[in-house]
Amino acid sequence: MRARSQLAAMPLIHRFASVGFALAFLLGGLVGLLLGLLAYPPTAWFAVLEVGLPAGVLGAAFGALTGMITGTLRGSTTADQAPPRVGAASPR
């Protein structure tokens, strides 16, 4: 399964939280790498985690909040799941 189809299959909140975590972690890791190289190059790899992980957690929290707001405005928690129609025949 491709990454894009896996994201499309996720509930909206999880999708936004995953993308928020990934983007914030990458940006925070890059900032951590630059700060680590400026401060003490032999331990720059640790600065990637030290700055990247908290940024990723905040990105996931912000993404989940954004997903909740978007889901509420759309009226559902998943993008491709339509609400059931009234009077529709149920599958047997």
16-50 tens-digit pLDDT: 999 999 999 999 999 999 999 999 999 999 999 99
78 within some domain: no
Structural domain of 49: 22-73
Answer yes or no: is pLDDT of 89 > 90: no
17 within some domain: no
87 within some domain: no
Query: What pLDDT does residue 22 have?
Result: 96
Number of domains in the chain: 1
57 within some domain: yes
Answer yes or no: is pLDDT of 80 > 60: no
Q: What is the pTM of this model?
A: 0.75
Answer yes or no: is pLDDT of 82 > 80: no
8 within some domain: no
Using one digit for the tens of pLDDT, what is the confidence trace for 8-22? 888 999 999 999 999
The 8-class DSSP code of residue 88 comes to P
User: What whole-number distance in Å separates Cα of residue 48 and Cα of residue 71?
Assistant: 33
Chain centroid to CA 90: how far? 34
- Using left for φ > 0, alpha for ψ between -120 and 50, and beta otherwise, residue 75 falls in left
